[in-house]
Amino acid sequence: MKKYRILAAAVALAFATSCTTDFLTVENPKAKPIEDYFNTETTVFESLVAAYAPLHWPDWFGGYYNPVNIASDVMADQIWPGGGTATDFGDLKYLARYDADGRYTLPGLWSAAYSGVKRSNDVLLYIDWAREAGNISAESAKLFEAEARALRVFYYNWLWKFWGNIPYYEKNLEDPFVCEQIKADEVYDHIITDLEGVIALNVLPMVRPESEAGRVSQAMAYMLYAEITMYQNDASRLPTALNYMKAIIEDVHYDLLPDYAEVFKESGEWKSETIYDINYMSEGGRRDWSWVTGEGGTILPRLIGPRGWEDGYAGYLSGWGLGPVRTSTVEMFDDADARKAATCFDVASLAEAGGKTYENTAYQHTGYYLQKYAPLDANRQGCIADWQMNFNNNLRVYRYSETLLNAAELVLRNYGSGDAAAWLNAVHGRSLPGTTVEATLENVKKERALEFVGEGKRYWDLVRWELTADPDGIQASKVLTGHDEMNFRQITWSSSKKYIPIPDAEISAAAGTAYPLTQNNY
């Protein structure tokens, strides 16, 4: 009988083996559940690093070329959209004509910015988890919180400036994954309050050591504060903005570089003039067509490079002809202005100098491209993936010269005291040595027009200055009006153009939920 008992036991065992839930619970061998992972100082920092990552996406993300500086500047008066054909870079063309609709409105930038928001929110959640687990020091927790919140403001700033009335959330969404769309002014209230909180934490260093270049600093937060409050024309906060500018000016780490052209070279990165750059690198660059979010370089130089250029000639590579510099912009500069050559890349002359003929094949070709981010062969060396996406040019976000011009403007607009003339002329005199200009608001505006071509400042300046007439003779008569010299833009800017249309796909995805999206009245 023993045999049968063994057999019965075997049968019972066989039937019982799989009924435990243990058997059906398998672990992913290459990943951990987030709750088990993001609860230490080290891993929270990793999540913070991931929150920085979307900063480098917009130049090519989700199938769209939406570099923030070019997407901003095509709506102003200094560059054309250009490209290969009349329909190339379609969404930028529609924006440039003030003729956008929901099909053509920077969906790449929209998604990248919200990815940044979501990741920043996650960092704040994970800090709580790590605190509960007792695995993070109070200092680190505070520092990471400041960084994550500053980043969140930075991302919302993109969304707020372009789209204005947007869904806003500070805790990540759960089923059914929708939230309320709020008015632009309410968005402003949220983000400026959030930023004030960051500054009040007072844990960010005024300047980062070289090894941490690219992480948020207090000076970066100040510049962000000035940008947002000045764009909102928030009189109650502009005096504070001025004080922040003065704090940067007083800081010994920050100063102008003597040579304007140097600012945009690889060698000029993270020198005294740099307050904030988005980092890109070519050495070991892994960004690729199949891995656009991989870390590495930028595609911006390739986008704005001269079409039809012989690759490698005079150290330059060819490009896709985006953002040709308008002839009127070239003419705006005094010939002696160091900024002229550093801004306007005269391709035909360079070709002729070497006995080559440059045959333009781009749309809206003017003969000039943007020198600041021109595709230099030297700037894409050492990349592992496709060289087109791996230029090492950092994207200049905030420079010390902007600090000076912000400060001068705020003084001249009577938001506080300061030596506006010295600040203005520090910028002016660097590029036109020995000359000075009078400290007037108009001269500050003119200086900004000369200083920041192609840096994504001009359009927002024009909007906040509400420039519809020609107060200063620097082509502002054509600013934001239709019927420009190429007869390209036929629609005149009006206040309804301030907020571009929300991508259609978002409107349709939110339709029928508790929070449908209302399209901007563009």
Q: Which of residues 331-390 bind another protein (CB under 8 A)?
A: 382, 384
Candidates 294, 367, 416, 482; binder of another protein (CB under 8 A) is 294
CA distance 256 to 248: 12
Shortest distance, position 75 Cβ to another protein, whole Å: 22
Q: How far is the CB of 343 from another protein (least distance, A)?
A: 24
Q: How far apart are CA 362 and CA 340, in angstroms?
A: 22
Cis bond before residue 176 (omega within 30° of 0) = yes
Sign for the pseudo-dihedral over CA of 420, 231, 168, 89: negative
As a whole number of angstroms, the distance between CA 464 and CA 448 comes to 13
The footprint of another protein on this chain (CB under 8 A) covers a number of residues equal to: 81
- 212 is an interface residue for another protein by CB under 8 A: yes
Integer Cα distance of 29 and 26 in angstroms: 9
CA distances (Å), 63 to each of 106, 377, 414, 504, in order?
Answer: 10, 25, 45, 16
Nearer to another protein, 14 or 138 (CB): 14
Q: Which of 1, 24, 138, 252 binds another protein (CB under 8 A)?
A: 24
Identified binder of another protein from the candidate list 93, 161, 215, 340, rule CB under 8 A: 215
For another protein, which is the closer residue by CB, 118 or 131? 118
In whole angstroms, give the CA distance from residue 191 to residue 232. 12
Cα end-to-end distance, the chain, whole Å: 89
Stretch that binds another protein, among 89-97, 142-150, 449-457, 498-506 (CB under 8 A): 498-506
Calculate the CA dihedral of residues 229, 158, 448, 339 and round it to 10 degrees: 150
Q: Nearer Cβ to another protein, position 172 or 361?
A: 172
Question: Distance (Å, rounded) from C-alpha 118 to C-alpha 191?
Answer: 15
267 contacts another protein (rule: CB under 8 A):
no
Give the side-chain half-sphere CA count within 13 A for 313: 20
Report the 10 Å Cβ neighbour count for 91.
23
Q: Which of 2, 5, 23, 355 binds another protein (CB under 8 A)?
A: 23
Q: What are φ and ψ of residue 445, in 5° steps?
A: -60, -45
Q: Is residue 291 involved in binding another protein (CB under 8 A)?
A: yes
* Residues 45-64, interacting with another protein (CB under 8 A): 46-53, 55-56
Closest separation in Å from C-beta 448 to another protein? 27
The residue among 280 and 465 lying less far from another protein, judged by its C-beta, is 280
Rule CB under 8 A: which of 88-147 touch another protein? 107, 110-111, 114-119, 122
Task: Tell the residue number behind the tokens 């930023």, with chain if given.
Answer: 195
- Separation between Cα atoms, residue 127 and residue 117, nearest integer Å: 16
Select the residue interacting with another protein from 2, 29, 200, 252 (CB under 8 A). Answer: 29
Q: Between 152 and 428, name the residue whose CB sits nearer to another protein.
A: 152
CB of 506 to another protein, least distance (A): 5
Neighbours of 218 (CB within 10 A): 23
**210 touches another protein by CB under 8 A:** yes
Whichever of 80 and 254 has its CB closer to another protein, that residue is 254
Please choose, out of 131-139, 189-197, 280-288, 328-336, the segment that lies near another protein by the rule CB under 8 A: 280-288
Among 82, 164, 214, 321, binds another protein (CB under 8 A): 214
Among residues 48 and 74, whose Cβ is nearest to another protein? Answer: 48
Closest CB to another protein among residues 387, 460: 387
Q: DSSP letter for 315, please.
A: G
- The piece of 213-221, 320-328, 361-369, 395-403 that touches another protein (CB under 8 A) is 213-221
Q: Is 14 in the site for another protein (CB under 8 A)?
A: yes
Segment 154-193, which members bind another protein (CB under 8 A)?
166-167, 172-173, 175-179
Q: How far is the CB of 385 from another protein (least distance, A)?
A: 9
Task: Please give the structure tokens belonging to residue 162.
Answer: 């372009």
Q: By CB under 8 A, is residue 434 in contact with another protein?
A: no
CA–CA distance, 103 with 155 (Å, rounded to integer): 22
Determine which residue in the list 1, 2, 26, 134 makes contact with another protein, applying CB under 8 A: 26
Nearest to 371 by CA among 448, 305, 303: 305
Nearest-approach distance from CB 324 to another protein, in angstroms: 24
Q: How far is the CB of 167 from another protein (least distance, A)?
A: 5
Locate 271 and state its tokens.
């020198």
Contact 337, 431 (CB under 8 A): yes
Cα 483–Cα 489–Cα 490 angle in degrees, nearest 5 = 60
Specify whether the CB–CB gap between 263 and 396 falls below 8 A. Answer: yes
